[in-house]
Amino acid sequence: MKIKTTLTLCILALGLAACSSKQAPQTAAVELPVTPPWADQRMERFAELAAREGFELEREGEQIRLIIPVDGNFHPKRTLLLPSGLVPLSKVAQTLRDDHDTQLAVVGHSDSVGDDALNKQLSMERAQAVASVLMLGGVSGKRLQLGSMGENQPRADNSTDTGRSLNRRVEIVLMPYPTRLALAD
């Protein structure tokens, strides 16, 4: 019995020694294509669109903001889009329609003239008007969030006409799924 055990151990030792002396087969390194970040893939498209339509474009990390001024795009005393505002927004909708990796928040802003509650309502109605054009253009409502900031997030000084004009805007905030934007006052 001792001879069998000794013989088995010797065979195992030789087998282990033989296995450890072999070199592992070399594998070729496979280079995977580098996918640019989500926002990089969209910035060029939206930069061209924004420049052509008179919108502003801002990027912060993986978030893109398309800023639509109220002046020239909406009726001055109402929340109705003017025909001059419909065509550019239709082009935005065409660009976004088939981009299912993008979700949107449409956020209305106002200046500080008038009642805060009224400004918040006007901001929401303008955001709804923009969202409606996007949905009519084929963007799924499931990808949209609506928000109204009223006068709470000014971009400029509300004491001047120019500043108030800059503050009256609707922003389309583009984000990759599954990000969610927290809308707070």
Full DSSP string of the chain? -HHHHHHHHHHHHHHHHHHHHSPPPP-PPPPPPPPPPHHHHHHHHHHHHHHHHT-EEEEETTEEEEEEESBTTB-TTSSPBPHHHHHHHHHHHHHHHT-TTEEEEEEEE--SSS-HHHHHHHHHHHHHHHHHHHHHTT--GGGEEEEEEETSS-SS-TTSHHHHHHHSEEEEEEEETT-------
With a cut of 80, say whether residue 141 has pLDDT above it: yes
Threshold 0.85, pTM exceeds: no
**Is the predicted pLDDT of residue 5 greater than 90, yes or no?**
no
> Domain boundaries in the chain?
38-176
pLDDT value at position 90? 95
Mean pLDDT of the 106-132 span: 95
Instruction: Give me the pLDDT at residue 75, please.
Output: 87
State yes or no: pLDDT of 85 exceeds 80: yes
pLDDT beyond 70 at 184 = no
Give the per-residue pLDDT at 26.
62
Does residue 6 have a pLDDT over 60? no
Fold held by 38-176:
60s Ribosomal Protein L30; Chain: A; (3.30.1330)
Task: Look over the chain and give the mean of its residue pLDDT values, rounded to a whole number.
Answer: 86
